[in-house]
Amino acid sequence: MRRVAVVSRGVYTPVGRGFDATWAGLLAGRGAVQRISRFDPTGYPVQIAAQVDLEGDGPALYDALMDAVLAEAMAGIRLDRVAPQRVGVFLGNEAVRPPMAELVRRAAQRELPTVEELARYAPHWQTLRVAQAVGALGATATHATACASSGMGLGEAFLAVRRGEVDVALAGGVDVLVHPLMVMGFARLGALSTRNEDPGRASRPFDLDRDGFVLGEGAALVVLAAEEVAAQVGTVLGWISGYGCSSNAWRITDSPPDGRGAAEAMEAALRDAGRGPGEVVYVNAHGTSTRQNDMSEARGIRRALGAHADRALVSSTKSMTAHMVAAGGAIEALVALEALRQGIAPPTINLDRVDPDCALAHVPWVPAPIPQGVAISNAFGFGGSNASIVVEAP
Amino acid sequence: MRRVAVTGVGMATALGRDPWEVLALLLQGRSGVVRPTDERALLPIPGVAEAEVDVRPLLKRRKDKKLLPRAAELAIVAAADALGDDRPEDIGILLGVGREPTDGGASERAILSSLDGDGVFSPALFGAVGLPLYPPLASLRTLPNLILAHVAIQLDLTGEGGTRAGAEAAGLAAVVEGWHAVAEGRAEVVLAGGADSFVDPALARDRVRQGFSGQAPGEAAGFVRLEPLDRARARGAEVLAVLDGGGTRFAPEERWRSEWEGQLGACGAAAGVVDWILDLAGVSSSGRAWSAEDTGALAYVTWSRARV
């Protein structure tokens, strides 16, 4: 089977516009959680989120985010050296949330979205849009697995390149969660932090005083290429070497306390990569800052890595970016790869007192050097969809 | 690469669950499309094609039924039929789904309660009045992967899991993914298929208003059980077919319509898989099943019996 290289990337997060800005912000420990400014959150129990610095709302904002990461990822990429039938697109997205004004008008006037609007709001819209933009005629897929979406998209893209189904694959996702309905829905679930008076401290994965996750938004696009064509298409930034996924089959809103679903995804990814637990030097955790997720994931890491869990560094960059949901998996896999490339793990900010149920080799507040080895990036979705990806430096 | 066998099929359609019986009925010209007697009778549609299923015997707790979107009810029944009695650990499930399930009008009610005296939307009222009207689980009902989650929970499927979003091609695309997972040794047993439902009165009305008036709203789920051919032989399982190939691609020029849409209604993401299962119930010794969407997504599988 072929090796699969990461040859380019585009990222847009609340922490930074572009991958380099995001990475610099993460190393600096710069959190992006603030009072919501896209709409007036007065009266909401949750009034904080991490927003990107783009104007707009609804599908236009999704398009703008995807256009930005597409432009960054495709800069310098020579897709003309690959047949269009050998280029695939694998995104992970949820449905677009229409602008609130549109939802209000429809509700008040009992209007329906048109067929064209429905198509534009569908999860697979961006997949087809990207395929058209780059002229890809190969395999396409849209994975809609909530917070695991773009992680699964990236994983399936990796598999498609490795098995020879395509030579080049574009993978990633986009999500915009700072929307009144999303804030309302997740607040009603009791899943969000209500630390409205201290937003910078609200996202605190694995910390004893965490009280929920914080909504974010962002986009990522990764260009993968088979080793044989990687140098013709772009520059080898690193490798994806393994992918694993699993279902919790537990409960709709909770994760199993013993961490088995998370562990199965990580174990499958390591098996797929032909790597052992002792080779893992860094885990970019899903780390949402909810008690249920963090405890389940921490136990999953222990199950998967065994005694090596005391040595592999673990951080959650959601402490800074907040939860970018469908877009998060791909972004965090790129962060894990860069950590290996640079030999330094970005920190988990706001991690003052580690929850005893989450004891791991955490990286609180300050980046930490990491030795040579492989890294795992986790993305776990509501409903129990789990994806883990193993990355390696060039 | 391992050869992959189809060792089980399950479906829930307007003409029943047994693929061989459903095929016989279809060939006799029977239709599952009937004139509704409720508010849908007023719609300019040929009728609706509803599946009769009772998911309750398969649920761990009877009260779980109220959590299930309609497509999940169909999917649980069809997946259980495809799975059969051989249930090793870590069975995978890969599912193609269509339009996002709705929140049952919860967001609309919350919005309408947040209009001020002049009929203008008030964000403050939305936070104070609308929010308490929004059931805590309403937003989760709209996530496409929740259909798969319900099937996984009820049938204890803890292996490979993934949801493909799309339309008519999504179910077969999930089958392609399942084929790869088994062929490459990442999974031993996988259920793969699609589930979709358009028969809810509000959805049926919406589809008419959106221009789908020529179609009968339908619903269905279809699953195949995939496992290595060697494993199937070792346990003495009946092998319905061997998968010889498959794939997905972006093909905006292709147009596809289910062979049985006139009798089973429009079944969205389940349509391609249901058509294929009906092929398997027929007498052909090999075939190529495919489905495509207006959006350009296309999925196909090739299969045979001769090489079994």
B149 and B138 housed in the same domain: no
Cβ pair B47, B209 in contact under 8 A: no
Chain-centre distance for alpha carbon A210: 21
B214 and B271 housed in the same domain: yes
CA angle in degrees (0–180, nearest 5) for A4-A5-A10: 130
B253 and B122 housed in the same domain: no
- The pLDDT of residue A17 is 98
Query: Of B152, B210, B249, which is closest to A114 when you measure between CB atoms?
Result: B210
B91 and B186 housed in the same domain: yes
Rounded Cα distance, A344 and A321, in Å: 18
B163 and B46 housed in the same domain: yes
**By residue range, what is the domain housing residue B222?**
4-76+85-101+144-304
Per-residue pLDDT of chain B (308 residues; tens, 9 = 90+): 899 999 999 999 999 999 999 999 999 999 999 999 888 888 888 999 999 999 999 999 988 898 899 999 999 999 999 999 999 999 999 999 997 777 878 888 999 999 998 888 888 888 888 888 888 888 777 888 999 999 999 999 999 999 999 999 999 999 999 999 999 999 999 999 999 999 988 778 777 776 777 789 999 999 999 999 999 999 999 999 999 999 999 998 999 999 999 999 999 999 999 999 999 999 999 999 999 998 889 999 999 996 54
Rounded Cα distance, A257 and B21, in Å: 44
Query: Of B107, B127, B165, which is closest to A124 when you measure between CB atoms?
Result: B165
Query: How many structural domains is chain B composed of?
Result: 2
What is the tens place of the pLDDT at every residue in A131-156?
999 999 999 999 999 999 999 999 99
Distance (Å) from the alpha carbon of B161 to chain A's nearest alpha carbon: 5
- The pLDDT of residue A314 is 98
B236 and B269 housed in the same domain: yes
Q: Is residue A50 within a helix (H) or strand (E), and if so which, with residue range?
A: strand A48-50
CATH code, domain carrying B250: 3.40.47.10
- DSSP character for B130? I
Mean pLDDT computed over every residue of chain A: 96
B184 and B283 housed in the same domain: yes
B120 and B259 housed in the same domain: no
**Amino acid occupying residue B16:** G
Q: Is A246 on the interface with B (CB under 8 A)?
A: yes
CATH among 2.60.40.420, 3.40.47.10, 3.40.190.10, 3.30.1490.150 for A4-392: 3.40.47.10
B138 and B169 housed in the same domain: no
- DSSP bridge partners of A283: A314, A376
Q: Hey, are the CB atoms on B158 and A253 less than 8 Å from each other?
A: no
Query: Of B100, B112, B137, which is closest to A95 when you measure between CB atoms?
Result: B100
Distance (Å) from the alpha carbon of B272 to chain A's nearest alpha carbon: 16
Q: Is B138 on the interface with A (CB under 8 A)?
A: yes
- The pLDDT of residue B308 is 45
Q: Look at the block and give the residue holding tokens 């809103």.
A: A253
How many CB atoms are located within 10 Å of the residue A386 CB?
33
Distance (Å) from the alpha carbon of B112 to chain A's nearest alpha carbon: 7
Q: Which residues of chain A have pLDDT under 50?
A: none
Sequence ranges of the domains in chain A: 4-392
Rounded Cα distance, A356 and A177, in Å: 31
